């Protein structure tokens, strides 16, 4: 055992400051995108039927392997940014039971999963891993579009950001 490493910073540094809360029961890489969608939905009173397309911008680690649109099982659904984005728009929040097959089979959820595209956002990539940011642009059927950029998703403390930077 390396006692020096174990005791380093004792009484000065507290590991609890490195913990964060995960408010959504899905992959942490796209929580900032969910926060952005929920903010836009609330601010602009977006109805799911009005959404034509969603552009989900994340850093590369959060895109690769999380951009799929299939949800053959619970882990597939929880690890898909398009699925989480669709649920955020349709339900106005994310809850564990929404990732179950009967919830995902809803026509409006399927339509919005197909209408969501995930890409590497250059600014998100530049500031990762210090910040787990996300950007979203929602295009409405009437021609309007709106954008949101979230630098730090809900649940990330200042201590986590400082240590990761």
The pLDDT tens digits of the residues spanning 93-144 come to 999 999 999 999 999 999 999 999 999 999 999 999 999 999 999 999 989 9
Q: Which domains does the chain have, with CATH numbers?
A: 23-164 (3.30.1330.120)
Segment 82-92, tens digit of pLDDT? 999 999 999 99
Residues 6+ apart with CB under 8 A from 24: 31, 34, 84, 94
Tell me the per-residue pLDDT of 140-163, one tens digit each, with 9 for 90 and over: 998 999 999 999 998 765 444 444
DSSP string over 18-52: G-----SSS-GGGHHHHHHHHHHHHHHT--GGGEE
Query: Global pTM?
Result: 0.85
């Amino acid at each position: 055992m390396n006692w020096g490493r174990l005791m380093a910073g004792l009484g000065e540094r507290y590991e609890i400051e490195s913990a964060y809360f995960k408010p959504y029961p899905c992959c942490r890489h796209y929580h900032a995108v969910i926060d952005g969608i929920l903010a836009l939905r609330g601010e602009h009173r977006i109805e799911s039927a009005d959404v034509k397309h969603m552009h989900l911008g994340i850093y590369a680690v959060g895109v690769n392997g999380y951009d799929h649109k299939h949800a053959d099982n619970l882990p597939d659904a929880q690890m898909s940014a398009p699925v989480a984005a669709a649920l955020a728009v349709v339900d106005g929040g994310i809850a564990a039971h929404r990732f179950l097959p009967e919830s995902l089979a809803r026509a409006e959820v399927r339509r919005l999963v197909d209408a969501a595209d995930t890409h590497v956002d250059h600014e998100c990539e530049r500031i990762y891993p210090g910040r787990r940011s996300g950007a979203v642009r929602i295009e409405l059927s009437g021609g309007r579009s709106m954008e949101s950029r979230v630098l730090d998703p809900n649940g990330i403390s200042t201590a986590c950001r400082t240590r990761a930077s």
